[in-house]
Amino acid sequence: MLTAEQKQAYTNDGYFTVEEAVPKALIEEIRHEVELITEQKRGGVLAGDYEWWSEHTIPDPVRYQKIIQRLLELPTVMGPVQALIGSDIFLLITDLAIIRAGTGYIAWHQDHGYVVEVLNALASMSKNELNDDALRLLVPVANQAMVFITIYLQDTDNTMGTMRVIPSSHQWEHSLDSSSANSLNAEICLSLPGGAAMFYTPTVWHTAAANTSITDYRMLTLIFTKNNIKPLLVDALKRII
């Protein structure tokens, strides 16, 4: 269940955090497993010099899926998701990112690109056909039908370039410079302990700054959608097609 404050934060700010979403002992086990997985093979190096794996590129998929399954069994992870978008849901995709010590950043971005992934799965519309008008129509559907969760795999502080977010930016009608790694006046740095989780909408603007610490910064993200998201998106697009 969600508290009234969490519901209000999700609606107004586009996110909320839970400090003990994953028990300490379990997050330590998961962090150790993730370290073993990610040291087998480097992830794809993306703009900003950080590494990224999808569930399709992870070097030890069996071990990785066991981690995901353990998270899906936690009421503290699944309860908020179900409270936000209902119980008829599925796990769309997961990904793992690392900003190595002394390197990298993740540029300011939104995650509604995953909506395009859902549409592409319909084989009825390509990414290039989604113009600005279409995306504007999809934003409210995405916010109501998708939930993103980033799990903190270790204790974090400002030097690690931990997650930053701009409250209420999911309601903006304008964009940021996606190549920017600069700090913004409205941003909040979410330095949280290992086992914490950030629950957020796909359209809130967020980033991770350069990791100036001596510790690798690892993030595990789970993306949930309603089972009926495809017809919802198609119906929204019919208004302009």
Q: Which helix (H) or strand (E) holds 65?
A: helix 61-72
Distance between alpha carbon 10 and the CA centroid of its chain, in Å? 14
Q: Which helix (H) or strand (E) holds 220?
A: strand 217-226
CATH of the domain at 134: 2.60.120.620
Measure the CA angle with vertex 13, ends 12 and 19; round to 5°: 120
pLDDT band at 123 (very low <50, low <70, confident <90, very high): very low
Residue 62 has pLDDT above 80, yes or no: yes
With b meaning 16 or more CB within 10 Å and e meaning fewer, what string describes 134-160? bbebbbebbbebbbbbbbbbbebeebb
Closest CA to 76 of 23, 27, 25: 23
Q: Which domain holds residue 81?
A: 4-239
Token pair 């919802």 is found at 232
Token pair 């941003």 is found at 187
- DSSP code, position 154: S
Amino acid at residue number 181: A
Q: How far apart are the first and last CA of the chain?
A: 39
Neighbours of 103 (CB within 10 A): 18
pLDDT band at 53 (very low <50, low <70, confident <90, very high): confident
Kindly report the average pLDDT of the chain as a whole number: 84
Least confident of 96-100, 162-166, 183-187, 211-215: 183-187
Max mean pLDDT range (20-29, 41-50, 152-161, 178-187)? 20-29
Phi–psi pair at 114, nearest 5 degrees: -65, -25
pLDDT band at 227 (very low <50, low <70, confident <90, very high): confident
Question: Higher confidence at residue 113 or residue 2?
Answer: 2
pLDDT band at 91 (very low <50, low <70, confident <90, very high): very high
Question: Higher confidence at residue 206 or residue 142?
Answer: 206
Distance of alpha carbon 157 from alpha carbon 141, whole angstroms: 34
Q: Read off the tokens for 171.
A: 């309601």
For the segment 206-227, the average pLDDT, to the nearest whole number, is: 91
Distance of alpha carbon 92 from alpha carbon 76, whole angstroms: 19
Q: Say how many domains are in the chain.
A: 1
Distance of alpha carbon 221 from alpha carbon 152, whole angstroms: 9
Residue 51 has pLDDT above 90, yes or no: no
Predicted model pTM = 0.86
pLDDT band at 203 (very low <50, low <70, confident <90, very high): confident
Work out the burial of residue 213: count CB atoms within 10 Å of its CB; fewer than 13 is exposed, 13-18 middle, 19 or more buried.
middle
Phi–psi pair at 97, nearest 5 degrees: -130, 150
Of the chain, the percentage scoring pLDDT greater than 90 comes to 48
